[in-house]
């Protein structure tokens, strides 16, 4: 790939006859090779012009002649927008804020760091890398000394975008800078250290921007604290796994880190030769200092790519993300992104850090209140407490029978038991006529919802509107997935915690009243043996009356009269039927996978039932000796 032209339509100084070969070479050492850059440099403060004249071996009059010759070589390229932005940029006093006065032994120790070794082993580096498409919009630090917060959050936000977050992810620079000022030992001094910002990410994580929005101007103390309650503890889901210090002289290692998919925060001394240059403000090209030039403050930015280029000092340059606006408004890539040569980093950077994201996402739905998410499971897989319906969107959590022909509100409690944020989270809800066993083809989609992210912990999704066409009781199934936790091929609640079902029959009964529980019986595909049922009344007091469960010969939903008699393998007397209500088999019937019949029983509360009390009855369907499904009747005694 041919390196791009960083100064569009730049006029090479080597083509300006008034410049000697030695002068062109001297300027090339400072990465100044076009007439546009030279003219801009000559308009900086007098101290810089003096250094420039000295580097070229001319006096101020000679410098003026060179400037005039260079100006004449510049083609007209400025449009109205560019001219307006140049005026705006010239009026801005860009904030800095990277402190460079760390103890000498700390700075020296960073120069002894070993060369970076990629975990998967070394590989051939590409000639160019760019992560611009993995970063959110450029921020503006304004006049505050908060560049460190902006630089380290570029590292953190890029890690989240590579994991699947949306491009508008925005973490709180206000929190990072406040925390740094609480921990860097100099709370009244503007600015902080990159290492402290990286420590904040590792120890607390960064909360979302809307929990504590950034203020771009000075007010009160440096940190502008205290933070609001929602932000004061950071965000554990947005911590980093580890901070990765890099040796500034290890340019290959820094490039390798970028090629692996990370960006890098760094701090450097600022030199007025580029800070005050209108060319740098326009195109974002950060140049090495002139001979004998002294730094004037420190700044932190993020390396977000690189380009090998033999014409640049050190053989190439890094693509940098800055926190100034307007800046690099006519740059080759995007506004706010500039370029810094390899040698600037290797010779002048005071801190270079990257980081790894904490891995681990597990979006889940529980099958029971005690479900830990481990799969496969042999426990409850039919009565999830994380799925419920309300006839109105009142936020209640008691499951209700839906009202047909009008909007009902479904709720799902979604869990992320991993340590990191889950992205591109998708929820699908299905419904089917309520029965202990629901054939896979009977589940019909009723609601779909997409979330940009799901933080670690739990979140109630809803109300989700659903209007059932027919009256009756329904079973519900929810499927929850994310970019890192997709749905398996077989959405079985017993095999994956991405799926849960609720097959419960809510009924309110007054003392002494009765209710019929009637449902469809369908053969379970892939299971041999006679169909049978168990009725478990362990959740009922002894004085509750439950009739024998009837299996009727008339297929479900077809015309004809039922015999009203249980269908069994032979004669079944009253004693057997009575035992069936208390947990034995009702008997059995041959039931093919395509056959459907009606089953029913009646529950009668005693007159002395206590209003407000709740009870359960569990009906299990068996195919041979295998339990293929269960249904829970949830009774509430009405007052």
pLDDT at 522: 82
- pLDDT class of 371 with cuts at 50, 70, 90: confident
Lowest mean per-residue pLDDT among 115-124, 186-195, 225-234, 464-473:
115-124
List pLDDT tens digits, range 398-414.
999 999 999 999 999 99
pLDDT at 589: 57
- List all residues 6 or more positions away from 82 whose beta carbon is below 8 Å from its beta carbon: 282, 329, 330
Task: Strands of 262-326 (E only): list them.
Answer: 264-269, 298-308, 316-321
Q: Which residues of 352-377 are buried (b: 16+ CB within 10 A; e: fewer)?
A: bbbbebbeebbbbbbbbeebeeebeb
Lowest mean per-residue pLDDT among 6-20, 274-288, 513-527:
513-527
- Mean pLDDT (whole number) for 304-319: 97
pLDDT at 579: 35
pLDDT at 308: 97
pLDDT at 1: 61
Place of tokens 């103390």: 221
C-alpha distance from residue 33 to each of 13, 42, 64, 285, 312 (Å): 6, 14, 18, 11, 10
C-alpha closest to that of 381 among 289, 263, 460, 499 = 499
pLDDT at 520: 87
Considering only residues 2 and 219, tell me which one the structure prediction assigns the higher pLDDT: 219
Radius of gyration of the chain (CA): 36
Rounded to two decimals, the pTM is 0.86
Coil/strand/helix, residue 374: coil
- pLDDT class of 596 with cuts at 50, 70, 90: confident
- pLDDT class of 370 with cuts at 50, 70, 90: confident
- List all residues 6 or more positions away from 411 whose beta carbon is below 8 Å from its beta carbon: 387, 388, 389, 390, 397, 460, 461, 462, 463, 464
pLDDT > 70 fraction of the chain, expressed in percent and rounded: 92
Query: Quick count: other Cβ atoms within 10 Å of Cβ 33?
Result: 22
Task: Bin 529: left if φ > 0, else alpha if -120 < ψ < 50, else beta.
Answer: left
- pLDDT class of 585 with cuts at 50, 70, 90: very low
pLDDT at 530: 75
Tokens of 140: 């503006």
Angle at 455 between CA 450 and CA 457, to 5 degrees: 115
pLDDT at 397: 95
The per-residue DSSP string of 394-418 comes to S---S--PPPTTS-EEEEEEEEE-S
List pLDDT tens digits, range 246-302.
999 999 999 999 999 999 999 999 999 999 999 999 999 999 999 999 999 999 999
Residue 522 parent element (H or E): strand 514-522
Mean of all residue pLDDT scores within the chain: 91
Instruction: Kindly tell me if the per-residue pLDDT of 133 is higher than 80.
Output: yes
List pLDDT tens digits, range 542-558.
999 999 998 876 555 44
pLDDT at 553: 62
Contact 508, 442 (CB under 8 A): no
Contact 155, 196 (CB under 8 A): no
- Mean pLDDT (whole number) for 240-248: 96
Q: 3-state SS string over 337-369?
A: EEEEEHHHHHHHCCEEEEEEECCCCCEECCCCC
Q: Which residues pair with 500 in a beta bridge?
A: 478
C-alpha closest to that of 329 among 3, 86, 139 = 86
pLDDT at 121: 85
pLDDT at 489: 83
- pLDDT class of 465 with cuts at 50, 70, 90: very high
Q: Which residues of 291-307 are buried (b: 16+ CB within 10 A; e: fewer)?
A: eebeeebbbbbbbbbbb
């Amino acid at each position: 790939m041919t390196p791009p032209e960083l100064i569009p339509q730049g006029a090479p100084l080597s083509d300006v006859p008034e410049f000697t070969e030695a002068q062109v070479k001297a300027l090339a050492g400072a990465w100044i090779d076009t007439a546009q850059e030279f003219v801009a440099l000559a308009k900086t403060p007098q101290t810089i012009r003096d250094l420039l004249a000295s580097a070229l071996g001319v006096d101020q009059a000679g410098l003026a002649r060179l400037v005039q010759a260079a100006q004449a070589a510049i083609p007209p390229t400025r449009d109205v927008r560019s001219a307006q932005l140049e005026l705006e940029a010239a009026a801005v006093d860009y904030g800095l804020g990277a402190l460079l006065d760390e103890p000498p032994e700390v700075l020296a120790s960073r120069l002894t760091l070993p060369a970076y070794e990629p975990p998967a082993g070394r590989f051939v580096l590409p000639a160019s890398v760019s992560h611009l498409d993995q970063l959110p919009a450029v921020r503006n630090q304004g006049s505050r000394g908060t560049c460190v917060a902006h630089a380290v959050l570029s590292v953190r936000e890029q890690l989240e975008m590579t994991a699947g977050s949306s491009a508008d992810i925005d973490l709180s620079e206000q929190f990072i800078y406040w925390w740094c000022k609480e921990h860097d030992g100099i709370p009244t001094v503007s600015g902080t250290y990159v290492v402290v910002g990286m420590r904040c990410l590792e120890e607390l994580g960064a909360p979302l921007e809307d929990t504590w929005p950034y203020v771009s101007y000075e007010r009160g103390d440096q940190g502008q604290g205290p933070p609001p309650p929602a932000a004061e503890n950071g965000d554990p889901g947005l911590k980093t796994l580890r901070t990765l210090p890099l040796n500034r002289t290890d340019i290959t290692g820094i490039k390798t880190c970028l090629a692996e998919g990370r960006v890098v925060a760094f701090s450097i001394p600022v030199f007025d030769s580029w800070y005050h240059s209108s060319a740098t403000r326009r195109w974002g090209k950060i140049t090495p200092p002139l001979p004998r030039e002294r730094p004037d403050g420190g700044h932190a930015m993020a390396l977000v790519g690189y380009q090998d280029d033999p014409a640049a000092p050190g053989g190439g340059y890094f693509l940098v993300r800055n926190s100034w606006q307007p800046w690099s408004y006519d740059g080759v890539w995007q506004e706010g992104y500039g370029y810094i040569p390899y040698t600037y980093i290797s010779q002048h950077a005071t801190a270079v850090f990257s980081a790894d994201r904490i891995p681990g996402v597990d979006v889940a739905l529980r099958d029971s209140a005690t479900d830990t998410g481990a799969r496969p499971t042999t426990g409850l897989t039919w009565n999830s407490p994380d799925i419920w319906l309300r006839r109105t969107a009142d936020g209640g959590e008691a499951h209700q029978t839906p009202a047909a022909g009008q909007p009902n509100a479904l709720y799902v409690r979604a869990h992320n038991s991993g340590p990191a944020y889950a992205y591109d989270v998708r929820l699908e809800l299905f419904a089917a006529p309520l029965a202990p066993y629901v054939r896979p083809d009977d589940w019909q989609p009723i609601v779909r919802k997409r979330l940009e992210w799901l933080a670690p912990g739990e979140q109630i999704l809803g109300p989700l509107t659903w209007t059932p066409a027919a009256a009756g009781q329904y079973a519900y199934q929810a499927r929850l997935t994310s970019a890192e936790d997709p749905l398996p091929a077989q959405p079985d609640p017993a095999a994956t915690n991405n799926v849960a079902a609720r097959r419960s029959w809510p009924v309110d009964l007054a003392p002494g009243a009765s209710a019929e529980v009637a449902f469809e019986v369908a053969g379970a595909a892939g299971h041999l043996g006679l169909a049978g049922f168990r009725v478990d009344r362990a959740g009922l007091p002894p004085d509750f009356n439950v009739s024998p469960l009837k299996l009727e010969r008339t297929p479900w939903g077809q015309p004809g009269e039922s015999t009203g008699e249980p269908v069994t393998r032979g004669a079944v007397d009253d004693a057997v039927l009575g035992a069936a209500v208390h947990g034995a088999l009702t008997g059995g019937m041959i039931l093919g996978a395509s056959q459907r019949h009606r089953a029913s029983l009646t529950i009668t509360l005693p007159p002395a039932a206590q209003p407000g009390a709740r009870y359960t009855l569990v009906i299990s369907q068996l195919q041979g000796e295998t339990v293929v499904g269960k249904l829970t009747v949830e009774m509430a005694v009405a007052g």
